Structure 1
Amino acid sequence: MSWSRPQEVVEKALAASTADGQVAFVVESSEANLRWANNSLTTNGSMRSRQVVVISFVDGGAGMAAGTVARTGSPDIADLVAASERAARDAGPAEDAMPLVSETPPGSGDWDADAAETSIGTLSDFAPALGQAFGEARDRGELLFGFAEHSMATTYLGTSTGLRLRHDQPTGRVELNGKSGDMSRSVWAGAGTRDFTDVSVEALAAEVERKLGWSKRRIELPAGRYETLLPPSAISDLMIYAYWTMEARDADEGRNVFARPGGGNRIGERLAALPLALRSDPFAPGLEATPFQAVSHSSGAASVFDNGMATPAIDWIRDGVLTNLIRPRYWALRTTAPATAAVDNLILEAPGATATQEEMVAATDRGLLLTTLWYIREVDPQTLLLTGLTRDGVFLVEGGEVTGAVNNFRFNESPVDLLGRITEAGRTERTLPREWNDWFTRAAMPPVRVPDFNMSSVSPAS
């Protein structure tokens, strides 16, 4: 099937508009993947898709209303525009109504260029290395499972105020799960990437082999508070959840952990004992993300009226102090605070830290080393208390060495409270969040040491 160029679709939608304003964007996507089980490739494939979004803005006299309609494939654009205008007319005045953005943000791509694409060729060097890893695992009596995926999404966004913005977003991830031959032991390694040129199958397989070796000795431990080393993947899942709750309106109105008792928010309050920095930057090397807003529906973290708004680098926590919260323009105007936009990446750093995870293990007298967390759920929004389970390897460290694997635990922790109890953070590195990587892959985190991580109960999960 022949599709019109995405730029033409956007222009056609804007030309068909009879509303007071319009935002139209097209996301052109392609994906390639490999999947494997029991030391053998099982499937490989590629796909292509298109999403077309039209947001119409109609002033019905009582205030500006917004209506969004989205379709996949190659819809009739006139019908799509008409449907979005009907949706706007049927909606009440929008609480977040603002004049549409008209200033072009920095970093916008070449509007006239064709959409970028990926293909199975992106994984051409990965597959042979994986085959070698299969053979080596088979020789050890171990099994490898997992997948590798690479996608490319090009967004073309146009507005009735004249914006024409484009961005190419490559996203890659690989998860490698290793199991003993009798399936009684399981470990994990993973990586996030833009193009797979920086992914070493050999290094991932070596990590899996090392952890399976550690897990040959089994030690049962009771629930309790343990000195715990959280690797970058595990701490990223906790920090991402904290990031997702950083909505200024919820804080200002007392509904989240960033609310100040008695009113207002906690900006300016020290959250971390160490001078940690939590930040986002759409131009961070290796973690590049869309430098402008492109959203189909309003939420506490974004507004359809802010489409095209720049998403510059921002510090959320600086020197351990809460510095910013996510604030769409309408809430910024209402609270006379700066508008701030979420960025699709997250970086946690400890200035000057150079310790590797291995060096932190060597400096541990007795404690736990985690692999990943999963099944994370919120218990209390006021404290951001989370619960979840450890997964694919909890290891006992004694005298600076890993001496075996222990049982899994259920944990109860607040990532915000945890920030105040971290006593050491190592060198920041790109990591793949295990729990959230269906939605969030661009993260860089350090390993961290927590002297009293709360393992609230023993889990039977393997």
Structure 2
Amino acid sequence: MIAAQEVVERALALAKVDDSIVIVTDTSEASVRWAGNSMTTNGIATSRTWTVIAIVRSGTEARVGSVTSTSVAADDIAGVVAAAEAAARSAEPSDDAMPLVAGDAVPTSWGDGPTATSIDVFAGVAADLATGFDGADRLYGFADHHIDTVWLGTSSGLRRRHVQPTGSLEINGKRDTASAWAGSATKDFADVRVPDLLSELSRRLDWAGRRIDLPAGRYETLLPPSTVADLMIYLLWTMEGRGAEEGRTALSAAGGTRVGEKLTDLPLTLFSDPAATGLEYTPFVVTGSSGESISLFDNGLAADRVEWVRDGTINALAYPRSAAAEFGTSVAVPGDNLLLTGGSDATVDDMVAGTERGLLLTTLWYIREVDPTTLLLTGLTRDGVYLVEDGEVRGAVNNFRFNESPLDLLRRVSEVGATVPTLPREWKDYFTRTAMPPLRIPDFHMSSVSQAT
């Protein structure tokens, strides 16, 4: 297979348009799956995806064509370049046209090959699961590890390379008709503690030995870090500057946006940071297409820390360079991690101990947007909602459909615990790098009883 760097340089050399961008991503992936206390499948795979972006300029206008290929043959490069250039010449002018990000320094790692994973990354996980398989509870789950090595080159002289490892493990435990879920995000599985996950699953299944039916309504509810992550990720995805400026989102305000609006007196800070320890992500823009929060013209632009909410106040929205220039504000690159800080050192167990009566809501799923103007979301509970009384979990309750807005939750939160790395349940296929605290919501809205199990 032709080296990724050679794909970049050959494609750029073949270009006959004003500007070109080439992105090559080599992926190495390993996975294992288990069901009913037995390993069922495992495998490894390698793949390449590469994109040529051609830009034809006329004055301030720019027309863009983008073609993506999975070919590994050198002879196919010229055809992909030609197809991208043909698409650019027939395209409509781009709304986000900007000069390419300039650069002339080649990173020392530019000539390195792709980084690979292997099935051996799961050795410790497999050994710990084998012990769990000897227990009475039925265990099901999946672990995945992939490493993306990306090379970015542009006709403006920019060269970038980054290696991004991403891993996750999730386990479902089942006992009789009860089910519980636990998961962990990781870079290399060295920090995954399977015995701790199995212990937590067993504890939740013990709680489910007593079933309590409750009606819909508003309940004081404890949200562990995983459920908080699922809700805050959706908030992050809606924090787009253009949509807010044009009055189309929950971040809109009369004559502008809600940046500067105080949500809570609690010192909560919601931020993305490519240098966050253990949650690092690609520290520059890499994209084959433009959207409201990101522009292909910004490929190679540095991605810095962005505090979306600072000390309880809405602080920033995502703007590519073109939108930032249009609206007279600062560029902010969307993040590939998300952290919420500003709480105490309390754990979920500490917060349970301080609860007179409420619910412990362990996981969410099937989250969908109901009203973009308020960011009202709906979804279902799954694999464990528990009744807490007098500081103790008394049993499992029926599932619910909920209706809540992450913005409103930040307004109404009454207690915030310690921030810890966590794996979101609903969005783990798209977004794994999060660190969240548990939250106490005094009146979480369970809008109806669900028959989901």
TM-score by length of 2: 0.98
SS in 2 for 1:111: coil
TM alignment of 1:143-154, pairs within 5 A:
143-154=138-149
**Alignment correspondent of 2:378:** 387
CA–CA distance in 2 between the matches of 1:161 and 1:444? Answer: 37
The alignment yields a C-alpha RMSD, in angstroms, of 1.3
**Alignment correspondent of 1:196:** 189
**Alignment correspondent of 1:117:** 116
TM alignment of 1:11-410, pairs within 5 A:
11-60=9-58, 63-75=61-73, 76-103=76-103, 110-136=109-135, 140=136, 142-180=137-175, 182=176, 184-260=177-253, 262-351=254-343, 353-410=344-401
CA shift in 2, pair 1:62/1:279, >3 Å: closer
SS in 2 for 1:278: strand
Q: Is the 8 A contact 2:105 2:159 kept in 1?
A: no
CA deviations 1:265-292 (Å, max 9, x no partner) are: 0111112341100000001010000000
CA deviations 1:353-405 (Å, max 9, x no partner) are: 10011101101111000111000000000000000000100000011010100
Q: Is the 8 A contact 2:60 2:97 kept in 1?
A: no
CA–CA distance in 1 between the matches of 2:60 and 2:358? Answer: 62
SS in 2 for 1:43: strand
The total of aligned residue pairs comes to 451
* 1:425 aligns to 2:425 (yes or no): no
AA at the equivalent of 1:444: A
In the alignment, structure 2 segments of 5+ residues that lack a partner are: none
Identity over aligned pairs, percent? 55
CA–CA distance in 1 between the matches of 2:71 and 2:183? Answer: 32
Q: CA deviation at 1:229?
A: 0.2
CA–CA distance in 1 between the matches of 2:223 and 2:392? Answer: 16
CA–CA distance in 1 between the matches of 2:255 and 2:134? Answer: 61
CA shift in 2, pair 1:147/1:104, >3 Å: farther
CA deviations 1:143-196 (Å, max 9, x no partner) are: 00001110000000001111110000000000000011x3x1110000000000
CA–CA distance in 2 between the matches of 1:273 and 1:252? Answer: 26
Q: Is the 8 A contact 1:33 1:148 kept in 2?
A: yes
CA shift in 2, pair 1:272/1:72, >3 Å: farther
AA at the equivalent of 1:78: A
Moved more, 68-77 or 277-286: 68-77
CA deviations 1:197-250 (Å, max 9, x no partner) are: 000110111011000000010000000000000000001000000000000000
In the alignment, structure 1 segments of 5+ residues that lack a partner are: none
CA deviations 1:15-52 (Å, max 9, x no partner) are: 11011001101000011011000000000100011001
AA at the equivalent of 2:366: Y
SS in 2 for 1:125: helix
TM-score by length of 1: 0.96
CA–CA distance in 1 between the matches of 2:105 and 2:217? Answer: 50
SS in 2 for 1:378: strand
AA at the equivalent of 1:100: L
CA–CA distance in 2 between the matches of 1:61 and 1:385? Answer: 43
CA–CA distance in 1 between the matches of 2:71 and 2:11? Answer: 15
SS in 1 for 2:435: strand
Q: CA deviation at 1:103?
A: 4.2
AA at the equivalent of 1:232: P
**Alignment correspondent of 2:430:** 439
CA–CA distance in 2 between the matches of 1:73 and 1:290? Answer: 24
Q: CA deviation at 1:131?
A: 0.5
Moved more, 96-105 or 412-421: 96-105
CA–CA distance in 2 between the matches of 1:292 and 1:105? Answer: 15
CA deviations 1:302-353 (Å, max 9, x no partner) are: 10100001101111110000111000100111111111101100001115x1
Q: CA deviation at 1:301?
A: 1.0
Q: Is the 8 A contact 2:105 2:158 kept in 1?
A: no
Query: Once superposed, which parts of structure 1, at least 4 consecutive aligned residues long, lie more than 6 Å away?
Result: none
Q: Is the 8 A contact 1:354 1:426 kept in 2?
A: yes
CA–CA distance in 2 between the matches of 1:213 and 1:335? Answer: 55
Q: Is the 8 A contact 1:249 1:331 kept in 2?
A: yes
Q: Is the 8 A contact 2:319 2:330 kept in 1?
A: yes
SS in 2 for 1:250: helix
CA shift in 2, pair 1:197/1:62, >3 Å: closer
Q: Is the 8 A contact 1:105 1:310 kept in 2?
A: no
Q: Is the 8 A contact 2:117 2:147 kept in 1?
A: yes
CA–CA distance in 2 between the matches of 1:430 and 1:349? Answer: 11
